[in-house]
Structure 1
Amino acid sequence: MAQTGTVAGTIVDGASGDILIGVNIRVKQTNGGAVTGIDGKYNLKLAPGKYTLEFSYISYQSKIVEEVEVKAGGLKSLDMALSQKSVDLKQVVITASAIDNNEVSVLRLQKNSLSVQDGISSQEISKIGFSNSAESMKRVTGASVEGGKFIVMRGLGDRYSISQMDGMSLPSTDPYRNSASMDLIPSTMVDNIVVKKTFTPDLPGNFTGGAVDITTKSLPDRFYLNVSASVGVNDQATFNNNFLSDPIQGKTDWIGFDDGSRKLPDLARKNPYMTSLGSSIASIQNNPDNQMISDFNRSMRVFADRPYSVAAGSPGLNRSLNIATGNRFKSGNGNAFGFNLGLNYQHDNRFYDNRVINNYKANISNENRMQRFLYSSGTESLSSATIGGIASAAYQFGKNEIGASVIYNNTGDQSVLNLDKGTFPGALSSGEYRNRVIGFQQRSLLNSQLKGKHRASFFGETTIEWAANYILSSQYEPDLRFLGAPVTAAGDYFFVREVPNPFHFFRDLKDNQYMGKLDLTSSMKKFTLKYGGFISRKERDFTEYRYQLSTTGTDPADAEYLSFGEAAGDFDRFFGADNTGVLGKSGSSAIFGNTYEDQTQPSNLYEGYEQVIAGYLMGTFNLSPKLKTVIGARIETTDYQVNVKSGSRAPGKIDAVDVLPSLNFIYALNDKANLRLSGSRTLARPNMREMAPFISFDLLGGFPIVGNPDIERTNITNVDFRYELFPKSDELFAVSLFYKNFQNPIVTELDATSDQPQYKYVNSQQANLAGAEIEFRKGLGFIDPVVKNFKFGVNFTYIYSKVMLRSAEYDIRKQVNPDLKNWRPFAAQSPYIVNLLLSYDQKEKGWESTLFANVFGPRLFANGAGAAPDVYEVYGRIKDKQENRIKSNVPVPELNFRIRKQFKNQFSVALNVNNILDYDVVTYQEHNGEYFTTQAFNPGRVYKLTLGYSISK
């Protein structure tokens, strides 16, 4: 299989960076060759040996490359930049050793980009050992990751970044987020990730921080088969006998699917007595229809089969398996067909042994501003299973390419939050209070795409690109169980009126999204025009059914009924089927045990749609040999509507038309350096969850989250300046300055002063943000040849922002702090972000290693309203374990290390160590120099061993 080798690459215009179609590549020794396709790429199969290649194209200077060495089974990447012909230029002859294989791709993706752009290649992703796209983004300048899933660019929240796959936007599977869950995309399926930081009209208008585009593998250069398997240890979870899990386990939990074990039965939804049990109990007791009573009883037992008890066990090793294969086939007329297939499976366990959840009610009094509302700690156990796959195929014929791809990913998260220590002053004057949440969340994403690219001769040379996508995303939470109650001195639960009885929740969200786009690029002699259109429509259906334990009609004196006190805290006995529903009869009346009432809120069942239609026109003009301008505008129509399924609440609506202009100047100081200046208008839209009048909470005693149908979109003005220098193809120095003005920014506000504290979505007043970025990548061989295999990279982002306080809020807060400023930082904005990378690569012996660090400053988690201090998040250190408080908000870096050895027989072995410094994730409020922890957990250190095998021909 490995008797031949492959030479492949991309040919571009050396001045503009545009790909060149139809370039002839001739092999001198065989007199054979190839022609670049519509993607500017070529592919040659050659026997082992050394060759001379000639690259020629009409009106361009030819280049001859000598001593191109081809090895059996090897891939020689040989990219080329051709210069337009001049009478003074002669044919250029160079040797292959003088060409750096990454030069053209770096120039094309960054130096010749029409916008400010950064990115990471699949090679870099592989070196650092990131397992998914979210982790991979930590390497990009100005990027950090929120919640392990959501990309934060330039310190802005995920709302101001968009995620795309192969040029089409990805939806979020989390109703609380605008950005897609990037952890669903395995890094093995990624070719590269590019981040555009300035807007051009051919991009969606709803990004401000960055547009992240994940490019999946297209036509492979040759046949390949890659297999890797890993095992890992989390030092807090693996083999921990205190790891808790739901005793109800489905047969398909191990691959992240609920098999129906947790499904809400139709019997519970259709039972007439569960709607208002209090008024119906008498009719049930005296109803002679035994079938009706029997149906009611069975509906109760459905919940009894799913207890609030948990099982303790010792989880095994984390594990993963990745398989990827693909091939390219060529016909005699030069046409090519290729395919890629990939499969990914991963199972991880995490355990937080000091999980902290506290809520504080704000008092206007400066002396006792922070009053405990809920104060709790305990453990949280999480088990995640992910399975995904990709299938893509592409066919190139002449100046055309047609491709299709299907990507599927599903993640199932089982969790047990067990807060067994705490108090609830917000409801109980004294005594211990415990909280337990048992959940299963299944998130899935199906993305299918059909796309094409064609070259035609009208308006000069015109490239036509089109794509059509259907995306189905869902988030399914069957039987989410909430239990919160005080405990006796002996440690047994008991129920009181001040605290809600236990709940069963059933949540189901489905989004169907349809997208299509058409882009045409016409290249004239003196300028290039790009124009086209885009349409997207997303339809959402969300349901949340609530069932609450009720003791209506229960007589504790009945011998058949076991009270909670008599059960002595045994959940299985008290909540079990023998103590639930109709327990028997006393004469003509039924004897009742525990029952459940349907407490579903009509406002918590909503549906809606988001429709965006856009058209654009932009031109690229060479004002001089060194100065290029890109000017144009995009028109986007926004049509949003969110309705509750029943009730008289007014719908949330947005109906608007926005004109989004863009102007970019690119000045080439020389062939290695650029100056860039950009100005544009963009926007940010609320998501449907934020517009829905939906109230949700994450535990009994926790602050609920409330939607706002009156929320408005945000309009943003952007200005960017950048200097970039490429000393060598793998070296970079760049400095960027940026400024942004926001009208009606959307923020999450904590109203902790009312009797019922809550989080809510509101529009704040005007906001301004300014920042700077510096990136530096350099090989260390200039210091001494001994360290020539080392490479150092650092990027630093600094952000300064002001969001003006609303006048009513400012007046209240000033009473607490007379020196208070009338502004705060931007929501989810870090004041600084730093990435450090030190890598070692010795290809001759197959060794490579990477030390990677990421650190960001405390970022605003939620605005405080009234007297409530703002809530911040930091990766820090809990030093006071007794009070679960941080002593300072100085961040602890995330430090990861990877070392890998490649063997000649295509085997490899790698070791990853993540979170070496063992940081805590902490959200906190600060008052008078003291830090009050609202949430905290420690993710633990992770050690992973990966074995790989790769063959190609």
Structure 2
Amino acid sequence: MRYIFTALFLLTLIPAAMAQVGTVSGTVVDGENGDLLIGVNIRVKQTNGGAVTGIDGKYNLKLPPGKYTLEFSYVSYQSKLVEQLDVKSGGLTSLDIALSQKSVDLQQVVITASAIDNSEVSVLRLQKNSLSVQDGISSQEIAKIGFSNSAESMKRVTGASVEGGKFIVMRGLGDRYSISQMDGMSLPSTDPYRNSASMDLIPSTMVDNIVVKKTFTPDLPGNFTGGAVDITTKSLPDRFYLNVSASVGINDQATFNNNFLSDPIKGKTDWLGFDDGSRKRPDLARNNPYMTSLGSTIANIQNNPDNQQLINDFNTSMRVFADRPYSVSAGSPGLNRSLNLATGNRFKTANGNAFGFNLGLNYQHDNRFYDNRSINNYKANISSENRMQRFLYSSGSESQSTATVGGIASAAYQFGKNEVGVSAIYNNTGDQSVLNLDKGSFPGALSSGEYRNRVIGFQQRSLLNTQLKGKHMASFFGETKIEWAANYILSSQYEPDLRFLGAPVTTAGTYYFVREVPNPFHFFRDLKDNQYMGKLDLTSTLKKFTLKYGGFISRKERDFTEYRYQLSTTGTNPADAEYLSFGEAGGDFDRFFSAGNTGVLGKSGSQAIFGNSYEDQTQPSNLYEGYEQVMAAYLMGTFNITPKLKTVVGARIETTDYEVAVKSSNKAPGKIDALDVLPSLNFIYALNDKTNLRLSGSRTLARPNMREMAPFISFDLLGGFPIVGNPDIERTNITNVDFRYELFPKSDELFAVSLFYKNFQNPIVTELDATSDQPQYKYVNSEQANLAGAEIEFRKGLAFIDPAMKNFKFGVNFTYIYSRVRLRPEEYEIRKVVDPELKNWRPFAAQSPYIFNLLLSYDQKEKGWESTVFANLFGPRLSANGAGAAPDVYEVFGRLKDKAENRLKNNVPVPELNFRIRKQFKSHFSVALNVNNILDYDVVNYQEHNGEYFTTQSYNPGRVYKLTLGYSISR
């Protein structure tokens, strides 16, 4: 940390005597429809200088400190004069202007400047003028609450919740029905089991705002139903800026905990989240004939015990994992920490054009420790009165260490009515984990006895997104705005050498192997996606209407591999003195798995003495490749039916071309080849200049991901049920109807009420096959589903209560959701045998019946104080289907009544409550304190039967305290 503070100190030595000017910037729009106005003249009366709005409708002025009068003028629009605009040295004054079209010869409008330096205003302006139902969160709100990544930031958005800390659930619809975009282009998922991107990969420091489109218009991708989340990164900056922040934090369960466990393998780049090759699959294990034909190799050695070359080669092969221990290291992790740096500038060229750039770096390292970590599985016995029967029952601890490093670089050049930009964003996250479940039983496989297991893992996820884009104005077909973009995205999820050990234990604490439980193994998994995308959007403004039309193409190519090397005791004799059995080793895993206990250990007479060996248990069917290609074209028009009523109508045509095939199999590949026409109709009625009524109807779709189509079975490493792909799965078609009333009392205030209904044909669901002796999950199409809900949002300053509360602001939103997914007849007939009153439907996966957000902020800029209290609450949500006739599994942030037994008290949720306070000193320095999870909730998955709650998984994330020191300059 001394290097961080030294760097911060050196930054303060930047000459303070440099000439300081102020910056005035903003956006000019049409006051009636919110369209950006390009080429508006802004004249500063005191200097006779000025500026012109660019292709993005924005302007930028540099002025010495003082008070100014600005005149905004545009052909066929009423001029507007802004007086008493106060420009401060080094400050940024945001001033957005709405111009009215001339209907009669009116005098110039004169107003007194009362600009609000608040990016939240810009987000609400976008929401008010949007052609679709839209919500969002600004970078200022993200900073106020102290969110560290985009996934956390989404909790503030109405109708949004986050699943697994990564995946967005909009309006009760899981990641399958939402898409994630960055600067208007879709992001791929780094998880083979998910459709949408892992939002935790995008640090909040790289975000300008996050906008969520909740209704479909033809210029958007057709594969969303819950929401299209678009993360906008910083583009052309208003002025030079340099922001540096460093933080340290404490997790009250992990920090300085001597019981924190870690992998003994320590790579040189682990601290950056990269595996340096220490865990990679050994070259000798690749297609090794001794491992792929272990039984015949051992027989060959027994028949040729004097063939020393054969024995040496065999031993070399079998001992490749000898330096990959199953033991763990206990230690005390230090403080959580992070470092962020961002800089950028804007230049005016000699010919009046503008060039700007942004650079950002982000590093974060966090530790988490979950004591009383439990993982249980239950299977219902239809013929037994005791319906809930344990399949697996285990508890212990889990230690996690996460390192994230990322960066952003972007540049843009504006010339006349044109802008060209380029950007690259990279993020890498490495998760090291040790799951040590040292108490439990496995009645699903073992008749009696204690069972323990351990999983040591490393997961590296990375995302590289490069984009070239442009905006241009042309004089054809009226005034036409041309926008284009081309992206290349590389995403990956790399899991090298995940080690699993599960074994029963005698009453004396001695480990031993049984056939019913898999022997320890090393597991390697690698997913790589290459995606190429391009789009072209043209917007032509004619006399009475606006047309938007264009096209889109995307192709994603995936390569997925999964290898497994399992310990084998074939040919070993525990009675041999040279061999150390698992039971004899007790808990000393290093001795048992050592090179000296592996391979051929010697000879007894004419027979070779075998120790441990490894067999290649890779299933060729688990290696697959595939592609997803989508092409689209659309046409939409915006018409003003009356001065107050606007309609947006159009359609999008999308082709789907998917193919997923197992690399080494004659199984038929999964294919989808389809064409969909997706119409959309939106009405926007302006009751007045502050109030809108919106009505929308549309058709959208949801596609399966490649993992769901791949015809292979993957196994849960923690004793859970296998997952089966389905090459015959079909896409889902959805009909959407939305209504919204929205009121904007002031530029930073909002009151909105929304109603929505969705009908699904062939919804894709995960169903648990209850007819098999070994239950397994499979992806299937149900017949139909319905979802309905309501949202309400209120943002208001509290000065109306008392002028003394002018610095307080209140925000609250509430979402209620009700859904029914019809059970397939095969599942329903089995389940109703146990419960004759069983309903023939369940809710959507990850859907909470309600979501509640509350924010109270205090902002006193004069004295540099700001503070925020944020609360997020969601109702229990479906996590997984129950096995056989067992109840379904739900997740809740709740409270365990007995942590020793991991029993849930009830399913009443506990809010996530966070607090942040920040103080700014002498304009440049700031210090902030964050406290997260104040109420200390438990994350619990449970099943309910006859009023009793059975915990399937649980852990406590702990409270987090973070102190941040910041330094910023701008001019």
TM-score, with structure 2 as normaliser: 0.96
What is the distance in 1 between the residues matched to 2:943 and 2:714?
22
Is the 8 Å Cα contact of residues 193 and 707 (structure 2) preserved in structure 1?
yes
Cα separation, partners in 2 of 1:101 and 1:129, compared to 1, 3 Å = closer
Q: Deviations over 1:500-545 (max 9, x none)?
A: 1111101011000000101000010100010011111111001111
C-alpha displacement of 1:866: 4.4
Is the 8 Å Cα contact of residues 941 and 951 (structure 2) preserved in structure 1?
yes
Is the 8 Å Cα contact of residues 67 and 86 (structure 2) preserved in structure 1?
yes
What is the distance in 2 between the residues matched to 1:107 and 1:388?
29
C-alpha displacement of 1:706: 2.0
Q: Does 1:826 align with 2:844?
A: yes
Cα separation, partners in 2 of 1:103 and 1:644, compared to 1, 3 Å = closer
Cα separation, partners in 2 of 1:100 and 1:255, compared to 1, 3 Å = closer
C-alpha displacement of 1:554: 1.6
What is the distance in 2 between the residues matched to 1:905 and 1:296?
69
Q: Does 1:860 align with 2:860?
A: no
In the TM superposition, 1:378-389 aligns within 5 A as 378-389=396-407
C-alpha displacement of 1:269: 1.1
Q: Deviations over 1:217-249 (max 9, x none)?
A: 000000000000000000100000000011111
Is the 8 Å Cα contact of residues 626 and 667 (structure 1) preserved in structure 2?
yes
What is the distance in 1 between the residues matched to 2:457 and 2:527?
16
C-alpha displacement of 1:692: 1.3
C-alpha displacement of 1:289: 9.2
Cα separation, partners in 2 of 1:100 and 1:307, compared to 1, 3 Å = closer
C-alpha displacement of 1:825: 1.4
Is the 8 Å Cα contact of residues 380 and 417 (structure 1) preserved in structure 2?
yes
Q: Does 1:145 align with 2:162?
A: yes
C-alpha displacement of 1:700: 4.7
C-alpha displacement of 1:299: 2.4
Q: Select between 267-276 and 229-238 the one with higher mean Cα deviation.
A: 267-276
Q: Deviations over 1:257-296 (max 9, x none)?
A: 0000001122111321100211221213445896443333
C-alpha displacement of 1:642: 0.8
Q: Select between 691-700 and 270-279 the one with higher mean Cα deviation.
A: 691-700
In structure 1, the residue matched to 2:209 is 192
What is the distance in 1 between the residues matched to 2:455 and 2:727?
29
What is the distance in 2 between the residues matched to 1:869 and 1:742?
24
C-alpha displacement of 1:569: 2.4
C-alpha displacement of 1:872: 0.9
TM-score, with structure 1 as normaliser: 0.98
In structure 1, the residue matched to 2:746 is 728
C-alpha displacement of 1:102: 5.8
What is the distance in 2 between the residues matched to 1:169 and 1:750?
31
Q: Deviations over 1:601-640 (max 9, x none)?
A: 1111111111111111100001010000000000111111
Cα separation, partners in 2 of 1:271 and 1:866, compared to 1, 3 Å = closer
Cα separation, partners in 2 of 1:289 and 1:527, compared to 1, 3 Å = farther
Q: Deviations over 1:368-412 (max 9, x none)?
A: 211110011110000000000000000001111100000000000
Cα separation, partners in 2 of 1:99 and 1:542, compared to 1, 3 Å = closer
What is the distance in 1 between the residues matched to 2:304 and 2:791?
74
Q: Does 1:947 align with 2:965?
A: yes
Q: Deviations over 1:642-698 (max 9, x none)?
A: 111112212111111111000000000000000000000001111111111232234
C-alpha displacement of 1:807: 2.0
Is the 8 Å Cα contact of residues 613 and 638 (structure 1) preserved in structure 2?
yes
Cα separation, partners in 2 of 1:511 and 1:98, compared to 1, 3 Å = closer
Q: Deviations over 1:706-727 (max 9, x none)?
A: 2222211111000000000000
C-alpha displacement of 1:782: 0.4
Q: Select between 641-650 and 127-136 the one with higher mean Cα deviation.
A: 641-650
Is the 8 Å Cα contact of residues 441 and 478 (structure 1) preserved in structure 2?
yes
Q: Does 1:391 align with 2:409?
A: yes
What is the distance in 1 between the residues matched to 2:805 and 2:549?
49
Q: Deviations over 1:142-195 (max 9, x none)?
A: 000000000100111111110000000000011111110000000000000000
In structure 1, the residue matched to 2:795 is 777
Cα separation, partners in 2 of 1:924 and 1:33, compared to 1, 3 Å = same
Cα separation, partners in 2 of 1:907 and 1:806, compared to 1, 3 Å = same
C-alpha displacement of 1:96: 1.1
Is the 8 Å Cα contact of residues 536 and 551 (structure 2) preserved in structure 1?
yes
Equivalent residue for 1:101, pick from 89, 110, 118: 118
Is the 8 Å Cα contact of residues 752 and 868 (structure 1) preserved in structure 2?
no
What is the distance in 1 between the residues matched to 2:769 and 2:433?
28
What is the distance in 2 between the residues matched to 1:898 and 1:656?
50
Is the 8 Å Cα contact of residues 124 and 748 (structure 2) preserved in structure 1?
no
Cα separation, partners in 2 of 1:100 and 1:700, compared to 1, 3 Å = closer
What is the distance in 1 between the residues matched to 2:117 and 2:800?
17
Is the 8 Å Cα contact of residues 409 and 446 (structure 1) preserved in structure 2?
yes
C-alpha displacement of 1:494: 0.9
Is the 8 Å Cα contact of residues 10 and 19 (structure 1) preserved in structure 2?
yes
Percent of paired sites with the same residue? 90
Q: Deviations over 1:855-900 (max 9, x none)?
A: 1111111233641311111111111224312121111110000000
Is the 8 Å Cα contact of residues 285 and 591 (structure 1) preserved in structure 2?
no
Is the 8 Å Cα contact of residues 362 and 753 (structure 1) preserved in structure 2?
no
Cα separation, partners in 2 of 1:334 and 1:103, compared to 1, 3 Å = farther
Cα separation, partners in 2 of 1:289 and 1:560, compared to 1, 3 Å = closer
What is the distance in 2 between the residues matched to 1:418 and 1:715?
44
Is the 8 Å Cα contact of residues 155 and 833 (structure 1) preserved in structure 2?
no
C-alpha displacement of 1:589: 5.3
Is the 8 Å Cα contact of residues 123 and 136 (structure 2) preserved in structure 1?
no
Cα separation, partners in 2 of 1:168 and 1:11, compared to 1, 3 Å = same
- Root-mean-square deviation over aligned CA pairs: 1.5
Is the 8 Å Cα contact of residues 2 and 952 (structure 1) preserved in structure 2?
no
C-alpha displacement of 1:90: 1.1
What is the distance in 1 between the residues matched to 2:306 and 2:553?
56
What is the distance in 2 between the residues matched to 1:106 and 1:267?
56
What is the distance in 2 between the residues matched to 1:350 and 1:853?
22
Cα separation, partners in 2 of 1:856 and 1:816, compared to 1, 3 Å = same
Is the 8 Å Cα contact of residues 118 and 140 (structure 2) preserved in structure 1?
no
Is the 8 Å Cα contact of residues 125 and 747 (structure 2) preserved in structure 1?
no
Is the 8 Å Cα contact of residues 372 and 900 (structure 2) preserved in structure 1?
no
What is the distance in 2 between the residues matched to 1:107 and 1:499?
57
Q: Does 1:46 align with 2:37?
A: no
Cα separation, partners in 2 of 1:295 and 1:263, compared to 1, 3 Å = farther
What is the distance in 1 between the residues matched to 2:393 and 2:372?
13
Q: Deviations over 1:897-947 (max 9, x none)?
A: 000001124100000000111111111111111111111111111000000
Q: Does 1:170 align with 2:187?
A: yes
Cα separation, partners in 2 of 1:702 and 1:820, compared to 1, 3 Å = closer
Q: Select between 556-565 and 916-925 the one with higher mean Cα deviation.
A: 556-565
Q: Deviations over 1:468-493 (max 9, x none)?
A: 00000000000011110001112221
Cα separation, partners in 2 of 1:362 and 1:664, compared to 1, 3 Å = same
What is the distance in 1 between the residues matched to 2:757 and 2:414?
43
Is the 8 Å Cα contact of residues 749 and 865 (structure 1) preserved in structure 2?
no
In structure 2, the residue matched to 1:800 is 818
What is the distance in 1 between the residues matched to 2:74 and 2:797?
34
C-alpha displacement of 1:565: 2.4
List gaps (5 residues or longer) in structure 2.
1-17
Is the 8 Å Cα contact of residues 78 and 101 (structure 1) preserved in structure 2?
no
Is the 8 Å Cα contact of residues 143 and 154 (structure 1) preserved in structure 2?
yes
Is the 8 Å Cα contact of residues 486 and 495 (structure 1) preserved in structure 2?
yes
Is the 8 Å Cα contact of residues 411 and 421 (structure 2) preserved in structure 1?
yes
Is the 8 Å Cα contact of residues 358 and 408 (structure 2) preserved in structure 1?
yes
Q: Secondary structure at the match of 1:868?
A: coil
C-alpha displacement of 1:196: 0.3
In structure 1, the residue matched to 2:20 is 3
The count of corresponding residues between Structure 1 and Structure 2 is: 953
In structure 2, the residue matched to 1:351 is 369
C-alpha displacement of 1:588: 6.5
Q: Select between 457-466 and 743-752 the one with higher mean Cα deviation.
A: 743-752
In structure 2, the residue matched to 1:335 is 353
Q: Secondary structure at the match of 1:325?
A: strand
Q: Deviations over 1:313-366 (max 9, x none)?
A: 100000000000000010132211100000000000001001110001121136
Q: Select between 751-760 and 466-475 the one with higher mean Cα deviation.
A: 751-760
